[in-house]
Amino acid sequence: MNDQLMGKRRIVVLISGSGSNLQSFIDRCADESINGTLVAVLSNRPGVKGLERAAAAAIPNIVVDHSSFESRSEFDAALADVIDSFSPDLVVLAGFMRILTPQFVNRFLGRLINIHPSLLPKYPGLHTHQRAIDAGDSEAGATVHFVTPELDGGPAIVQAKVPLESNDTAESLASRVLGFEHQIYPLAAEWFCQGRLELREGHVILDNELLPEGGVSVEIAEHPGAGE
């Protein structure tokens, strides 16, 4: 039976680098934990490992190189057209390291999600792990959220909290958090693909309930191991 008949949602993933979160989507779609099909992987950078992961899984993969566009808005318009050519139900930013214009975000509002390596609203932007260490925080983590025009400011769907250890470096913490990212990101996508999750008037609704700020807080019993 084809994907349409099985009601699988069409997912486009945007990457800029290693694509370990992409890999978690590839794996969870393959074992059918996510009721979805990865219809395309798009990268704004050529030659990145995420593109190899997509090719190895026989997923159409395309480079839309931001450096060959005159302006951010021209790049975003071209990228949006490529995304739309795959008619996605869900657009997943997985380590996509470009700031998106409001025009782009509004075109995909409600079906555009991102993962950010901090407990938002703490530490939007870059160097999140070093900032958590420098602030003496007792915990760090990652947040999956709907994307809105405000950078890393959209409402949270799910967070994983990771205790900070006294000898943590930005690298050790990033690696530990990444292992949890690989669990919570496919989980959020699974909810979306089951039709349980939506953005309604700026709020996140899961199973017809309004989620609190910070979204669902996932307790992950077993340490998932360091991320790739």
Known catalytic residue at 116: yes
Catalytic residue among 116, 129, 145, 182: 116
CA distances from 206 to 126, 142, 194, 197 (A): 29, 19, 11, 5
With respect to ligand GAR, which residue has the nearer C-beta, 157 or 178?
178
CB 92 within 8 A of CB 113: yes
**Shortest gap between Cβ of 2 and ligand GAR (angstroms)?**
29
Q: Copy the structure tokens of residue 127.
A: 């160097």
With respect to ligand GAR, which residue has the nearer C-beta, 111 or 145?
145
Cα–Cα dist 227/190, whole Å: 20
Q: Copy the structure tokens of residue 133.
A: 């260490």
Which is nearest to 192 in space by CA: 225, 215, 160, 169? 215
Three-class DSSP category at 128: helix
* Pairing of β 61-63 and β 36-43: parallel
Closest-approach residue to ligand GAR (CB): 95
With respect to ligand GAR, which residue has the nearer C-beta, 111 or 116?
116
Catalog residues that contact ligand GAR under the rule CB under 6 A.
15, 17-21, 50, 94-95, 115-117, 142, 178, 181
Cα–Cα dist 119/142, whole Å: 5
Q: Which residues contact 9 (CB under 8 A, 6 or more apart)?
A: 35, 36, 37, 89, 90, 192, 193
Instruction: List the Cα angle 191/196/202 in 5-degree steps.
Output: 100
Give phi and psi for 14, each to the nearest 5: -110, 130
With respect to ligand GAR, which residue has the nearer C-beta, 3 or 139?
139
With respect to ligand GAR, which residue has the nearer C-beta, 83 or 160?
160
Q: Which residues are catalytic?
A: 116
